[in-house]
């Protein structure tokens, strides 16, 4: 946040309000300065935040290793599938997270060696005392699930691991066979209707294709950790630094930026994201969540959490009407079988009697924003059940659902938000 090579001294005024230190740059200047660096200067500043914590998850003790991968600028174009649209997702800051969950082995009960005598033996002890159970790499937000690999019980995943990074927007995915490509079923174990993987050109189709990414060959930039084994085998690999994420959080909180200073220093979410999304620029720069795994749980359950909840919105069948109700979602672990959605809502037309609707749908993902729907419902205004079909479009927090009732020959479109 400061010109390169300068330090900060935090000061307060007579009212106890933080005064911006001399030289604190606005976000445009930081982006310009970074872009002006040479390739070697950028690589020399590569660093990852990290934190490690233990927890009990589903009745089992585990250790979570969390990495923060921060980028100065996000420059990416999302390209529609069946609908030929293009949306530029350009904004300052981007933060992707990588999680490794570890389970203890019998060797964990032994005392670790004294690191001051032999640092390498301490690493060897850690490798024998814990087993990598899963690798979870973030791939955007919204309803897009992360790229996950659960290690089979009869397999031992030995570090170092290779992680692929998406061009421009920084989604990540494991590359366990180190072939420079993301391959569903090999680099991921989840059976998903929407497998994001790595999509360098922003395609949004649900079914993953190898053509979505360029292969990473010897010309690709590679960053390596401080593992002696990795550095020894890497020919063209630049080392990155590690810093504690907790220290970064504490440092950032001391600024107490005012609402006037924050847009200039941190940045402001573009109007499109403010309207349809829920991302805050400071959360993409320095998140405030504690090391307890809540972000990991939310990431893994992203589709279920994003598709279920309270519903509020508008429709206009015969007359304008308000909609309130509840939506339930069951993620069916199959690439071919549809997910299950149930909804119970009250439709409140202006100047008319309220109407109650209950529906049960089969929902299948076509792309990152579109689902096909087929189901049945009961509608109180007619007192009968009907077959319904339609589509379901996700636009940030908003949902657009055009449907057709087969028996009643009625077309209906509604705009809702999920809470």
Are residues 257 and 325 located together in one domain of the fold? no
Domain count, the chain: 2
Query: Are 317 and 274 in the same domain?
Result: no
pLDDT of residue 18: 54
Neighbours of 13 (CB within 10 A): 8
pLDDT digits (tens, 9 = 90+) for 329-379: 998 888 889 999 999 999 999 888 899 999 999 999 888 889 999 999 999
317 & 293 share domain = no
Let me know whether 59 and 137 are in one domain.
Answer: yes
- Structure confidence at residue 120 (pLDDT): 52
CATH number of the CATH domain containing 368: 2.40.128
Residue 4 inside a domain? The answer is no
User: Last residue of a domain, which of 299, 332, 366?
Assistant: 299
Residues 275 and 358 reside in one and the same domain: no
Q: Of 299, 333, 359, which residue sits at a domain end?
A: 299
Tokens 């159970």 belong to residue: 133
CA distances in angstroms from 246 to 9, 21, 119, 200, 229, listed in the order given = 20, 22, 24, 32, 28
So what's the pLDDT on residue 369?
Answer: 85
CA 101 to chain centre: 17
Last residue of a domain, one of 238, 267, 299: 299
263 domain residue, yes or no = yes
* 2, two tokens: 């400061």
Q: Is residue 2 part of a domain?
A: no
Cα dihedral 14→17→18→20 (10° resolution): -80
50 located within any domain: yes
pLDDT at 310: 94
Tokens linked to 300: 């893994």
How far from 227 is each of 209, 224, 237, CA to CA, in Å?
A: 33, 8, 12
**233, part of any domain:** yes
Q: Do the beta carbons of residue 198 and residue 184 sit within 8 Å?
A: no
Q: Are residues 288 and 309 in the same domain?
A: no
User: pTM above 0.85?
Assistant: yes
Both 262 and 328 in a single domain? no
Q: Tell me, what's the pLDDT at 12?
A: 59
Scanning the structure block, which residue is given the tokens 């005012």? Answer: 258
Domain membership of residue 244 as a residue range? 11-299
Instruction: Give yes or no: residues 27 and 53 share one domain.
Output: yes
Residues with pLDDT less than 70, the chain: 1-24, 111-121, 227-235, 270-279
In a domain, 131, yes or no: yes
């Amino acid at each position: 946040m400061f010109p390169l090579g300068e330090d900060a001294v935090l000061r307060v005024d007579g009212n106890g309000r933080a005064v911006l230190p001399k030289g604190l740059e606005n976000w445009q200047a930081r982006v310009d300065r970074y872009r002006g660096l040479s390739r070697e200067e950028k690589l020399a500043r590569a660093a990852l935040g990290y934190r490690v914590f233990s927890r009990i998850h589903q009745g089992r003790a585990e250790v979570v290793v969390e990495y923060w991968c921060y980028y100065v600028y996000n420059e990416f174009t999302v390209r529609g599938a069946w609908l030929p649209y293009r949306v530029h997702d350009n904004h300052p800051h981007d933060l992707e997270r990588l999680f490794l969950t570890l389970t203890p082995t019998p060797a964990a009960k032994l005392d670790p060696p004294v690191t001051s005598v032999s640092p390498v033996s301490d690493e060897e002890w850690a490798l024998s005392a814990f087993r990598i159970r899963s690798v979870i790499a973030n791939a955007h937000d919204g309803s897009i699930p992360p790229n996950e690999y659960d290690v089979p019980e009869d397999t031992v995943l030995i570090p170092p691991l290779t992680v692929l990074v998406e061009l421009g927007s920084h989604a990540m995915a494991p590359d366990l066979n180190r072939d420079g490509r993301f391959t569903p079923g090999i680099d991921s174990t989840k059976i998903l209707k929407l497998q994001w993987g790595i999509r360098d050109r922003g395609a949004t189709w649900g079914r993953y294709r190898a053509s979505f990414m360029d292969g990473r060959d010897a010309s690709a930039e590679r960053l390596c950790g401080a593992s002696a084994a990795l550095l020894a085998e890497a020919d063209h690999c630049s080392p990155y630094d590690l810093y504690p994420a907790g220290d970064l959080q504490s440092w950032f909180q001391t600024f107490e930026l005012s609402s006037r200073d924050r847009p200039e220093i941190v940045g402001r979410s573009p109007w499109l994201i403010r309207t349809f999304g829920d991302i805050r620029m400071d959360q993409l720069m320095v998140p405030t969540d504690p090391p307890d795994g809540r972000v990991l749980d939310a990431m893994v359950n992203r589709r279920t959490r994003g598709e279920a909840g309270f519903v509020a919105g508008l429709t206009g069948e015969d007359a304008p009407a308000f909609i309130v109700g509840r939506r339930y979602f069951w993620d069916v672990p199959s690439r071919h079988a549809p997910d299950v959605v149930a909804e119970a809502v009250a439709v409140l037309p202006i100047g008319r009697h309220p109407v109650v609707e209950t529906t049960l749908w089969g929902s299948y993902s076509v792309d990152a924003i579109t689902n096909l729907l087929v189901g049945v419902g009961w509608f109180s205004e007619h007192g009968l059940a009907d077959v319904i079909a339609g589509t379901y479009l996700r636009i940030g927090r908003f949902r657009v659902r055009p449907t057709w009732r087969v028996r009643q020959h009625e077309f209906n479109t509604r705009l809702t938000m999920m809470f």
